[in-house]
């Protein structure tokens, strides 16, 4: 006999995260680092429910870009990541750490600096929190199309880990297989590849414009 799990009360076909009215009682920076800080907050889940304390990484947020050429191939770059001790295949990405720079301008800058590319068409693939239980980091992934190479004399000089970057153009289907086969681990690459695979089913017509607002970003509310 086939059984079905009961449908939860209040279930709906519309699913959307929402800002919470939890009251923050105190907030202070307890560690200042080279790139991000650690904050310690005290807050209430509900009035009279007691105070909770959480330490978390106070992160400026980041953007990532999935470049796609006219043949449907996506650009991946390999970069050493010391905390995990691995060379990871990723997509161009960078911090939102330039004051006054828009999210889209930051994405265009990172695409130029890390991949020597400029794009004519920009779309939002996905927004996500990298580790919402321990960090405020919000990441927006863009799909970049209509690509052109930046002339050699205008290219950014890459240093440190970026100086070892390697590039490869991969068919999107192969990139999907690499994700599902456990061969790709970078979160922006995983989310971007799977989002692009889903978006191409309707010819990418459901994607948001590149300059869409980002109300979920903690620093842009």
- Percentage helix, strand, coil, to 5, in the chain? 25, 40, 40
- Let me know: does 74 contact 170? Beta carbons within 8 Å: yes
Tell me whether residue 166 is one of the annotated catalytic residues. no
Q: What are phi and psi of 135, to 5 degrees?
A: -150, 150
Closest listed residue to residue 40, CA positions, set 49, 31, 48: 31
Alpha-carbon gap, residue 123 to 80, rounded angstroms: 28
DSSP 142-180: EEEEEEEEPPGGG-----GGGGG-EEEEEEHHHHHHHHH
Q: Among residues 71, 90, 149, 162, which one is catalytic?
A: 162
What is the tally of helices (H) and strands (E) in the chain?
3, 11
* β-pair partners for 66: 143
How crowded is the C-beta side of 158, counted as CA atoms within 13 Å?
A: 18
Catalytic sites, residue numbers:
162
């Amino acid at each position: 006999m086939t059984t079905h799990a009961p449908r939860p009360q209040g279930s709906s076909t519309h699913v959307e995260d929402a800002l919470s009215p939890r009251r923050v009682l105190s907030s202070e920076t307890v560690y200042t680092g080279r790139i991000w800080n650690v904050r310690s907050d005290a807050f209430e889940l509900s009035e009279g429910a007691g105070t909770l304390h959480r330490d978390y990484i106070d992160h400026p947020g980041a953007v990532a870009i999935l470049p796609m050429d006219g043949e449907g191939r996506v650009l991946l770059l390999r970069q050493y990541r010391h905390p995990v001790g691995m060379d990871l295949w990723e997509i161009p990405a960078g911090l939102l750490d330039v004051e006054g720079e828009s999210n889209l301008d930051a994405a265009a800058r990172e695409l130029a600096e890390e991949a020597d590319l400029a794009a004519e068409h920009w779309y939002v693939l996905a927004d996500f929190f990298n580790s919402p239980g321990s960090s405020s980091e919000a990441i927006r992934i863009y799909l970049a199309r209509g690509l052109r190479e930046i002339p050699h004399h205008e290219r950014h000089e890459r240093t440190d880990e970026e100086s070892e970057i390697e590039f490869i153009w991969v068919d999107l289907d192969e990139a999907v297989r690499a994700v599902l086969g456990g061969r790709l681990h970078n979160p922006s690459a995983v989310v971007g590849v799977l989002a692009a695979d889903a978006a191409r089913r309707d010819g990418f017509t459901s994607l948001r414009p590149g300059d869409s607002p980002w109300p979920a970003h903690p620093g842009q509310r």
